Amino acid sequence: MTQISIDMPDDIAQELYRRAPQQADRLRLVETIFREYFAGAEKAGELELLNANAEALNLEAEDVLAYQVRLEKG
């Protein structure tokens, strides 16, 4: 495991120590925060990609739907 040092505002550090008084708890909390942040950033990138291609994707979906045949009940 790599050891790092992070400078942060006092109010955030105080909240971290309040929520996770033990060093092992702080490590797990900070690790969870980073993992969730990175996962969110990946999802944001996927959303950006979808938005950038939305028009083409919508046109393709409309084209596919045009080939569907309605089934008659009865």
2 or 40, greater pLDDT = 2
The rounded distance, in Å, linking the Cα atoms of 26 and 33 is 10
Burial class (CB in 10 A: 0-12, 13-18, 19+), 26: middle
Q: Which domain holds residue 17?
A: 10-65
Looking at the domain assignment, is residue 1 inside a domain?
no
Looking at the domain assignment, is residue 37 inside a domain?
yes
Q: Tens of pLDDT along 40-74? A: 777 777 778 888 888 888 888 888 888 887 788 86
Looking at the domain assignment, is residue 70 inside a domain?
no
Looking at the domain assignment, is residue 5 inside a domain?
no
CB 50 within 8 A of CB 59: no
Task: Look at the chain and report how many structural domains it folds into.
Answer: 1
Label residue 20 by pLDDT band (50, 70, 90).
Answer: very high
